[in-house]
A and B are shown apart, each in its own frame.
Chain A
Amino acid sequence: DVKVTQSSRYLVKRTGEKVFLECVQDMDHENMFWYRQDPGLGLRLIYFSYDVKMKEKGDIPEGYSVSREKKERFSLILESASTNQTSMYLCASTPSQGRGSYTFGSGTRLTVV
């Protein structure tokens, strides 16, 4: 089974801190995605990557950056965390071939205080 692992289930950070959310997948998928999920707002795409060192902005990239130095790892960076970035963060991956399904990680619940 494809596995997508997010490094933390729960995270509490202070306003202004630099925050790293890590995501690792073990099935050699080319495409990786970061979403945030808030009540009533559904899944919103922050950034995605089609290959190593490639990144594309999603619908809400402001306040975030990403890094993909290796194929299996896609990191989301909050440069200076703010309280409005308190959310559930979900990582997903999918192969580049065809239009198949996504495999999601278990999510990271980030609270910024």
Chain B
Amino acid sequence: SQQGEEDPQALSIQEGENATMNCSYKTSINNLQWYRQNSGRGLVHLILIRSNEREKHSGRLRVTLDTSKKSSSLLITASRAADTASYFCATWGSNYQLIWGAGTKLIIKP
């Protein structure tokens, strides 16, 4: 089952530009996580933001969380070709499993 919904489904930008992806979820959360998946590979954990946090940074990544709107955004600054991937948000469900969004496919054009 899916709780998170990413928006947009696909995003194509020029190298060097910033990329913003959004995630909405339905129920209350303990934390929200973002993952990256390069084509044909497994998912890699990027960043976790707890429900009592509003913003978190990791290198060129910035994640915000608005629990009143049940939404999160992932900003990648100064994008690079290597950032081309699919990005997923995930939240913990009531049965102690991560529930996944459908993902945003990001393409960085050289």
CB B39 to nearest CB in A, in angstroms, measures: 11
The verdict on A106 contacting chain B, using a C-beta distance below 8 Å, is yes
> Nearest chain-A residue to B6 (Cβ)?
A42
Q: How many A residues, CB 8 Å from partner?
A: 22
A interface residue numbers (CB < 8 A to B): 4, 6, 31, 33, 42-43, 45, 48, 59, 88, 90, 92, 99-107, 109
Q: Taking beta carbons and an 8 Å cutoff, which residues of B are in contact with A?
A: 1-2, 30-31, 33, 35, 40-45, 48, 88, 90, 92, 96-98, 100-103
Give the residues in chain A near B43, CB-CB below 8 Å: 90, 92, 102, 104
Number of A-B contacts (CB under 8 A): 43
Residue from A43, A88, A101, A105 in contact with B40 in the complex, judged by beta carbons closer than 8 Å: A88
Instruction: Report if A99-B45 is in contact (Cβ < 8 Å); known contacts: A45-B97, A48-B97.
Output: no
A42→B42 contact, CB < 8 A: no
B93 to chain A, nearest CB (A): 10
Query: Which of A6, A42, A92 is B101 in contact with, Cβ under 8 Å?
Result: A42
| Residue contact B102 to A104, C-beta cutoff 8 Å | no
CA distance A73 to B103 in the complex (A): 28
Complex CA gap A100/B44 in Å reads 13
Q: Is the CB of B40 within 8 A of A42?
A: no
Query: Whole-angstrom distance between the alpha carbons of A89 and B71 in the complex?
Result: 29
